[in-house]
Amino acid sequence: MNFPFLTLITFIPLLGAVVVALIPGRREREIKLVAVLFSVPSLVLSLIAWLLYAQNAGEIKFLEEATWIPTLNAYYRVGVDGISLPLVFLTTLLTTLSLFYSSYTIKKRVKEFFALFLLLETGMIGVFVALDLVLFYIFWEVGLVPMFLLIGIWGQPQDRPQYSAIKFFLYTLVGSVAMLLAFIAIYMTTGTWNILQIPGLKPLAGNPGLAIAAFWAIFLAFAIKVPSWPFHTWLPDAHTAAPTAGSVVLAGVLLKLGGYGMIRILLPFFPDLFKQFAPWIGVLALISMIYGALVSMAQWDLKRLIAYSSVSHMGFFMLGLVAAAASLEVANPVLTSRAIALNGAVLQMFNHGIITGGLFFLVGVIYERTHTRDLKAFGGLSAKMPVYYGVMLTTALASLGLPGLAGFISEFMVFRGAFALIPTYAIIGVVAIVLGAAYILWKIVQHVFLGEFSEERWQEIFNPAHWHFSLDMARFEVITMAPLLFFMVLVGIYPAPVLNVINAATTALLAML
Amino acid sequence: MTLTQFLVLLLPELVLTLVALVVLGLDMLWRNGNGSRHLLPWIALAGTVALLVAAVLIWPLGSTGGAAITFTTGKDFGGDQTPMMVLDPLALFFKLFTAIVLALVLLSSGNYVRAHIRFHGEFYALILFAGLAMTLSAAATNLLMIYLSLEFLSITSYLLTGYLREDERSTEGAVKYFVYGATASAVMLYGFSLLYGATGTLDLASIAAVLTGSVIPVHWLVYPALIMVLVGLGFKIALVPFHQWAPDAYEGAPTPVTAFLSVGPKAAGFAVLMRLLLTALPGFQLDWISVLAGVAIVTMTLGNLVALWQSNVKRLLAYSSIAQAGYMLIGLVALAPEAHSWTTGLNGLLIYLFAYLFTNLGAFAVVIAVENHTGSAQLDAFAGLMRRNSFLAITMFLFLLSLIGIPPTAGFVGKLFVFGAAIQRQMIMLAVVGIVNSVISVYYYYAIMRQMFFGEAPDAPPFDEGPGLRVAVGVAALMVLMIALYAEPFIRLASDSVSLLAASF
Amino acid sequence: MDFLFSFTPLIPLFPLLAFAVIVLFTYRYNRLSSDIAIGSIALSTVLAWAVLLATLLGGEHIQVEGWQLRVPWLPAGTTVLDLGFAVDGFTAAMLFMVPFVCLMIFIYSQGYMKLGQPDQDPRYARFFAYISLFAAGMLGLVVARDLVLLFVSWEIMGLCSYLLIGFWSFRKADDEHHIDEAQVIRARKAALKAFITTRIGDVLLFSGIALLYSYTGTVTLREIFRPETLETLQTISLLGMPAVTVIALLVFGGAVGKSAQFPLHVWLPDAMEGPTPVSALIHAATMVAAGVYLVARMLPLFIAGFEVADAPALHWVAIVGAITALLGATIGLAQDDIKRVLAYSTISQLGYMMMGLGLGSLVAGIFHLLTHAFFKALLFLGAGSVIHGVEHGHHVAAHADHVHTEHFNPNDMKAMGGLRHRMPYTFVAYLAGTLALVGIVPFAGFWSKDEILAEAFHLWRADGALNLPFWVWLAGTLGAFFTALYMGRQLGLVFWGEPRHTAARHAHESPSSMTIPLIVLALFALLFGFVNAPFLGSPLHHFMGGVHEASEVVHAEAVPFNFTVAAISTVLAVAGLLLGWLLYRNYRPGQVEPFQVVLGPVFTLLRNKYYIDELYQQVIIRPVVWLSNFCFNIDDRWIIDPFVDLVGAAGRVASDIVRVLDSVVVDRWFVEGTAQLFNAAGRGLRYSETGRVQNYLLVVAVTILLLLGLYLYF
Amino acid sequence: MAIPLSWWLTVAAALFAIGLYGVLSRRNAIGVLLGIELMLNAANINLVAFWRFITPQALTGQVFAIFVIGIAAAEAAAGLAIIISAYRRRRTVVVDELDTMRW
């Protein structure tokens, strides 16, 4: 396989960003078109890559290597396996959808928006494909900057966008600089940045104190991104302030960067330490799950609610990860349990991307019409916007883990693994499922869709002059949601296509530790 | 050594001197009403190019081993050959460095000078002379030569700082700069004298030799000497607590000069510091490492914390440059003798300097452009820059990222190397302090970003920065990216430049 | 005939397709939609009965071993988890009842939702979509081969109950429909209550399944019930108990939620807010049956636990069942809403089934489940028909005299009376249902209830002491009496005496689309009991009794018919029925209720359902809501957002001092404390920059002296 | 009679201290300038003294001293120029009053 899939997937958007930047700013139509078109190849290629990959199990594929900074022994090294591939696809999919959606909804500073968004895509994909710590770090930070601007410039004034933007920026930066030190320390002992080799070289094995410091430093960086309690507070603000597409990518992909990092770097580099600290990380996971659910139950701002629900759902992910890391045994029954847990974790990331991404699109749908997200302002919409009700209900149910939809599969696998390996945590964790049902149905469905529809209230929030599409979901909104719904149902009913890829990789990974 | 050798080895300096004099002369000729004065900056620029060329021409002579440049004292005095300067990789590096600094400063100063300064020729000539002083100081291997070149640099800097005679801030800054600088150099000179007394020689290498092999109990003199020398050099580099002149001088000076001051003297100071400590005082490692480590921490922290409060961008960047010097110092403090490892600290220092050169000069170029337009360097002058001149805004953003140290920018590579060195030497504390500081620094760099991107300036029309500035900013931005994405040649350059030093250590 | 089995997957598939088709395409065309729904369920019924036939003919090996179909579903590490369908005697028996009852209800709904009439329900099509999905869920549950598919169907039913109970929880602004604001809110609350309450049970079941899967590595029922698997489960210890017990309890928890057993029964009565057919569906054929079915399916697990544990799950099943039986029956005495009475009766009947299973008798429980499905569906549809009639009467009356506009609750039994003349078919059917429920020979209820009681009695006599079976038997018998009592009361109030309201006076018989299902079901209520009548040799026993033989722990032999038990319960039943009927036949509106006279304060207690709802409100719901707000405050007000504000503050510090000073004096101690750190530091240091060069130099001098001092010191 | 090195050094140190004191204490810029000159000359005394006592055969110390004298002159010139231009703007040569730029 010498066709440079990943390089193209990663850098075509960058090229697109440049092209967009060169188009004169007033030609908005062309800009939007070009931006969307430039995001499509990556999507197609990543899909092809997935299909090609599906046949062969476990190991890294589409590997590309080129010397980059010899003195630093840093390489341009990219490749994917079953863990990163779904996430790459997720990224390309959500980006294309976001760009498509935004081409209808973004009105101000169009050129900058689309250029930045494509740049952001490059950064995110890069993180998933990079197999060299330096490269990884660079992509990691590259993604940071555009998102910072997206939030700051296109955020709604009432949500203090600049404040949220800098908060997001600082939080992430704190984590990543700590991570940088840890990476350097690792390089000192192993002499390589190669993510695939380092686990074999037992980094910092000689220096326990430093190893622990490095472990927590890296953990911090990823935990902030995931985000795990108590590093989560940038999330609600960032989500609330960001424009719809921004929130979608933020929840759909950026959170996954952290999760992916934990699986790809933290776990393989320090399996023993991870095992040793698993109890503590597990506690964090539990707190994230339950606390996140509780807090989102207290929200009256739709976006904030979903943001906090992300905290809860990524808690599930961490629980699965902890379960997988809680034992290093590779004898079969245990290995299977660990693999299931890790599969659940990875799938949870994928699902959360699809579902929560969708939820944010749907918030956008109502926000674009009414310019409010206050749950108290709605009610009885299901009669007014039946299609919207149907779509939102499906997505929401997927989010609360209703069997038959995507969310359930990953939750089930996570808990399957957790019950086998860390029963106590699992028993506590299930509370989050009940709470999940509570805030989704009680807050979202009840307040927005059920109840009495009041015409006058509607009149004061909905101004037809500002909305040129149909009252119920417009065609472009339906088109945006369709692929996501498709995956929710597909994964919910027949997850094998996705899980085959993931399972192979996770099993290989765990067996390697 | 023969005159020809002598001339060849000094070629870059000679070229530079020549051009400077030519500029002065032409200024005289064109003073009265002749309209071709606008050529002067380009001539000066040509001079820097010539310097570059010359440096490249004699590169082979210096790159290997290095060639000593000696002055012969007269027959009646024994006619011994006293080495005064050396043409070694480090010296060459700084010749290159100087050429770039001068070029960027000259490019970005054109409009400003035309707008604010009466005597163009003198101004450009002075800048060239300052550059000359830099190259000399970087090459000097003899206390006398060091003192001379640094004084040369200082005096030119004083004059440049006070060049806006009608502007009281400028003159005030100059006075302070002068008083502080003169005192500091006097202290340093006293230190030199003690060092001479302790060893009986002014040549760095022989000082080391004497100190290592000496029987006479003179070591007690060396430490005070060391301290006093540090005062002088700390003043040049603007290390805390010898930094306080910097903000005033920077704020007062004409902005192009500020740009120069924020890079040139610092670089010279570091060059001398490296050479002096590593060549002359390797034996006193423990002393100066511990002192410098402390200085580095204080410098980073104080620079950043105070910068949080500035509302004038020039002053803000002044403090930022103080903090940056702190990061660079880590490279020297955490220098790793084993030259084979990827970061010897010293090469980190040079890479950082190089990255800093483009980043800071680029940033100042943008400030100049904005100031040319709004007539102010306050933060709010940057409001809505993205709408008024997106090129400047984006590049400025890039420079700020580089100052923070976020990839893919040059600053990241620099930090990678110096922090790497710190970790390699197990000086985790230093690295952590550095990291924390670079996070704090985000706050005030963000202040500028905020104005540029989020701030709204209703009645501010778009403007054009003019060719010179555009080139300067463009080149700087390009290099900032290059150094990060195609780091190899720069890293090698830096490593080679310090290889001799590290080896001699 | 075995080829018939290959149709099994289609049984749940047809309604599922109906759902999809209606929701996606035909939701605009009401009649077409309902026809699709009815057609699909009819097809399922046919297939189901075909499968039943095949099972009957298949004889022992099919009825016990069963037939199954596997599809690989998801890869799990080195193993693969596969799903599938299975049929055995038990399944077949369920397959006889479920789709058929559903079919009846579907047909009935067509009339109830007023197809083609001016006041037809605006979301008629959607209603049929939902009930189709509901049926699909139940059928899927029945034919599931493994716990995952079972759980999927299980949850789908949960969802449908949410959607259907809340079916009237909103309306178009321009909607002429009869529901009012109050009902909208009630329906909304009820739906949520149902979902969340059952969800609690679901989560327990979910945990149970996950545990089973973890310990046995499989979710396939028959593989779990292998003797060796059960033994491993018996040996593993979890939380100080044998794993098998823990899992059994978790599974039972699920059943408690779905089958509305005490203490999770609270959602069921409120579920009355849904349209009546939905109540019938939930109470008879689908939702609540699921819980019982689950426990019956997992019986080997319980019994395996019975062997090892000292506090076995099986006992809990019996105890909870007994409590529920009494609880429901007693509360039923004091309700005025015709449907609520039936709801509580359902609760208590479910209690009976649990008792039966709790005593280890699969067949007793399931037999009662089947009979109950028929007569309870009958009763609900009958009640629906009554309500429908009374409503109609109300409309007529309203049109008759225009002054008549006060709020009117068509469910209120005290507003009815004398309906036996106005709605003869309904009356007859209802009577049949009542007799079946009360347990009068030869109606279905008699046989099934009697078997449970007989079982208990038998076990008691077997060891003699006043053991658990005795108490179960006692509870059952008392329950039987109360059941008869409240049904007598209901008959008296609804069908006898003078009409107590103009609406009742104008009430009239429902359309045939509603009455025909009533009649059909009435026949079943009368005859279905004989499928397991002892004097016929308990055919059902032979048919499905053996399904758990493989596990080597369950032994199902039919208990011989016990005359004493039958006599006692019958006598009590007749007595209760007559008593209730006599007391309430001539009840006048406004007069004090006879029971209240007799029971006094107890009656109030019953009327308020033992205040359990209020209790939960105080003990569970409020604390949770409080906690969530508490966490939110932590997050947003007290700790973390302030911390974030520190970041923001420091960020603003850079930009301009004034705003910083503001943010420094933010009225939160946390910011105070921490922001000071930065700002003060910055500010303080800043003032070292006095602008006076000599101060600067002084600093230098001091520094030199300091360093020299250090040097001399060391 | 030869005066021992230590005496010279002491004198030089004293001179240096006096100069530094002058720099720190004089309010008049010219006075400050003089203080600096004193410090420079203190260094000169050192240089010459060390030359005489340690390396009489090589001229380095003396040469250095001479250079310093030259530099001092240049420095003074530049300094005076600056001070004068400041005086033109402010009509004062009091260093303390030059504090428009601070924090």
Which is it for the CA torsion A420, A422, A427, A431, positive or negative? negative
Using the beta-carbon criterion (under 8 Å), do B305 and C657 form an inter-chain contact? no
Using the beta-carbon criterion (under 8 Å), do C166 and A450 form an inter-chain contact? yes
Residue ranges making up the domain that contains A281: 270-513
Contact C387, C394 (CB under 8 A): no
Whether D101 is in a domain gets the answer no
User: How many domains would you assign to chain D?
Assistant: 1
What was the pLDDT predicted at C667? Answer: 26
Residue ranges making up the domain that contains D89: 27-93
What was the pLDDT predicted at C669? Answer: 33
Cα-Cα-Cα-Cα dihedral of A172, A178, A183, A184, to 10°? 130
Q: How far is the C-alpha of C38 from the C-alpha of C107, rounded, in Å? A: 7
Within an 8 Å CB–CB cutoff, is residue B424 touching chain A?
yes
B-chain CB neighbours of D35 within 8 Å are 183
Whether A17 is in a domain gets the answer no
Residue with tokens 């009466």: B118
What was the pLDDT predicted at A389? Answer: 86
Whether D50 is in a domain gets the answer yes
Cβ within 8 Å of residue A274, ≥6 positions away: A215, A266, A267, A281, A325
What was the pLDDT predicted at B214? Answer: 63
Within an 8 Å CB–CB cutoff, is residue D23 touching chain C?
yes
pLDDT interval class at B102 (50, 70, 90): very high
Contact C638, C669 (CB under 8 A): no
Using the beta-carbon criterion (under 8 Å), do C694 and D23 form an inter-chain contact? yes
Which of the residue ranges A35-49, A443-457, C403-417, D55-69 would you say has the lowest mean pLDDT? C403-417
Average pLDDT over residues B490-498: 89
| Strand A451-452 relative to strand B67-72, pairing | unpaired
When comparing pLDDT for C576 and A230, which is higher? C576
H or E element that contains C83: strand C79-87
Whether B470 is in a domain gets the answer yes
pLDDT in tens, chain A (513 residues): 478 889 999 999 999 999 998 888 788 889 999 999 999 999 999 999 888 886 656 778 888 999 888 888 889 999 998 899 999 999 999 999 999 999 998 888 888 899 999 999 999 999 999 999 999 999 999 888 899 999 988 888 888 888 888 888 888 888 899 999 999 999 988 888 999 999 888 888 888 888 999 999 999 999 999 888 778 878 888 888 899 999 999 999 999 999 999 999 999 999 999 999 999 999 999 999 988 888 888 888 888 889 989 999 999 999 999 999 988 887 878 888 898 999 999 999 999 999 999 999 999 988 888 888 888 888 778 777 888 888 998 999 999 888 888 989 999 999 988 988 888 899 899 888 888 888 888 878 877 887 777 777 778 778 777 777 888 888 899 999 999 999 999 998 888 888 888 888 888 888 887
Using the beta-carbon criterion (under 8 Å), do A173 and B439 form an inter-chain contact? yes
Q: Which residue of C has its CA nearest to D99?
A: C691
Within an 8 Å CB–CB cutoff, is residue C207 touching chain A?
yes
pLDDT interval class at C555 (50, 70, 90): low
Q: Which chains touch B (3 or more CB pairs under 8 A)?
A: A, C, D
Residue ranges making up the domain that contains B427: 283-505
What was the pLDDT predicted at B92? Answer: 92
Which is it for the CA torsion A14, A20, A22, A25, positive or negative? negative
Within an 8 Å CB–CB cutoff, is residue A478 touching chain B?
no
Q: C182: distance to nearest CA of chain A, Å? A: 10
How many helices (H) and strands (E) chain B has is answered by 21, 2
A-chain CB neighbours of B435 within 8 Å are 177-178, 180-181
A-chain CB neighbours of B484 within 8 Å are 138
Q: Which residue of B has its CA nearest to C648?
A: B443
Q: Which amino acid type is present at position C114?
A: K
Q: How far is the C-alpha of B400 from the C-alpha of B313, rounded, in Å? A: 12
Helix/strand/coil for A198: helix
Q: Which residue of B has its CA nearest to D36?
A: B183
Using the beta-carbon criterion (under 8 Å), do C691 and D95 form an inter-chain contact? no
Q: How far apart are the first and last CA of chain D?
A: 57
Q: Is the pLDDT of residue C178 over 70?
A: no
Q: How far is CA C303 from CA B255, B362, C151, C453, in A?
A: 89, 81, 22, 20
Q: Which residue of C has its CA nearest to D101?
A: C691
CB-count exposure of residue D17 (10 Å: 0-12, 13-18, 19+): middle
Whether D14 is in a domain gets the answer no
What was the pLDDT predicted at C4? Answer: 79
Contact A429, A319 (CB under 8 A): yes
Q: Is the pLDDT of residue D88 over 90?
A: no
Contact A356, A426 (CB under 8 A): no
H or E element that contains A189: helix A161-190
B-chain CB neighbours of C678 within 8 Å are 305, 308, 440
For the record, the structure tokens of A489 come out as: 């149902």
B218 half-sphere exposure, CB direction, 13 A CA radius: 20
Within an 8 Å CB–CB cutoff, is residue D15 touching chain B?
no
Q: Is the pLDDT of residue C656 over 60?
A: no
Q: Is the pLDDT of residue C453 over 50?
A: yes
When comparing pLDDT for A441 and C483, which is higher? C483
Average pLDDT along chain B: 87
Q: Is the pLDDT of residue B478 over 90?
A: yes
Using the beta-carbon criterion (under 8 Å), do B247 and C689 form an inter-chain contact? yes
Average pLDDT over residues B143-164: 93
Q: Which residue of C has its CA nearest to B306?
A: C682
**Most confidently modeled range among B124-133, C91-100, C425-434:** B124-133
Whether A149 is in a domain gets the answer no
For the record, the structure tokens of C292 come out as: 């019982």
Residues of chain B above pLDDT 70, percent: 94
**Most confidently modeled range among A18-32, A434-448, B265-279, C269-283:** B265-279
Best of B72, B169, B172 to substitute, by most chain D Cβ atoms within 10 angstroms, is: B172
A-chain CB neighbours of B491 within 8 Å are 69, 71-72
Helix/strand/coil for C402: coil
Q: Is the pLDDT of residue C660 over 60?
A: no
Q: How far is the C-alpha of B8 from the C-alpha of B14, rounded, in Å? A: 9
Within an 8 Å CB–CB cutoff, is residue A169 touching chain B?
yes
Whether D7 is in a domain gets the answer no
Q: How far is the C-alpha of C102 from the C-alpha of C134, rounded, in Å? A: 9
User: How many domains would you assign to chain A?
Assistant: 1
Whether B488 is in a domain gets the answer yes
D and B adjacent (3 or more CB pairs under 8 angstroms): yes
Whether D32 is in a domain gets the answer yes
What was the pLDDT predicted at C635? Answer: 67
Per-residue burial over A260-280, b = 16 or more CB atoms within 10 Å of its CB, e = otherwise: bbbbbbbbbbbbebbbebbee
A and D adjacent (3 or more CB pairs under 8 angstroms): no
pLDDT interval class at B307 (50, 70, 90): confident
Residues of chain C above pLDDT 70, percent: 87
The neighbouring-strand residues paired with C68 are C86
Residues of chain C above pLDDT 90, percent: 2
What was the pLDDT predicted at C664? Answer: 36
Whether B340 is in a domain gets the answer yes
What was the pLDDT predicted at B446? Answer: 87
A and B adjacent (3 or more CB pairs under 8 angstroms): yes
What was the pLDDT predicted at C674? Answer: 43
Q: What angle do CA C49, C54, C59 make, to 5 degrees?
A: 130
Q: How far is the C-alpha of B474 from the C-alpha of B456, rounded, in Å? A: 25
Whether D17 is in a domain gets the answer no
Q: Is the pLDDT of residue C177 over 60?
A: no
Cβ within 8 Å of residue C146, ≥6 positions away: C82, C83, C84, C218, C219, C220, C221
What was the pLDDT predicted at C463? Answer: 74
Instruction: Tell me phi and psi for residue A61, to 5 degrees.
Output: -125, 170
Nearest CA-CA partner of C291 in C132, C414, C153: C153
Q: What is the ipTM of this complex?
A: 0.84
When comparing pLDDT for B173 and C306, which is higher? B173
Instruction: CATH number of the domain at D66, please.
Output: 1.10.287.3510
C-chain CB neighbours of A452 within 8 Å are 170-171, 181, 184
Contact A229, A292 (CB under 8 A): yes
Q: How far is CA A148 from CA A162, A244, B438, B453, D40, in A?
A: 9, 14, 18, 11, 55
Q: How far is the C-alpha of B193 from the C-alpha of A158, rounded, in Å? A: 66
For the record, the structure tokens of B500 come out as: 């001799």
Pick from D39, D57, D82: CB nearest B162: D82
pLDDT interval class at C171 (50, 70, 90): low
Within an 8 Å CB–CB cutoff, is residue D19 touching chain B?
yes
Q: Is the pLDDT of residue C665 over 60?
A: no
B-chain CB neighbours of C696 within 8 Å are 176, 180, 244-245
Q: How far apart are the first and last CA of chain B?
A: 27
Whether A177 is in a domain gets the answer no
Taking the CB of residue C667, how many other CB atoms lie within 10 A of it?
7
pLDDT digits (tens, 9 = 90+) for C601-628: 887 887 787 787 788 777 777 777 777 7
When comparing pLDDT for B97 and A463, which is higher? B97
Whether D85 is in a domain gets the answer yes
Q: How far is the C-alpha of C377 from the C-alpha of C189, rounded, in Å? A: 24
Q: Which residue of B has its CA nearest to C691?
A: B248
Average pLDDT along chain C: 79
Q: Is the pLDDT of residue C20 over 80?
A: yes
Average pLDDT over residues C370-392: 86
Q: A201: distance to nearest CA of chain C, Å? A: 26
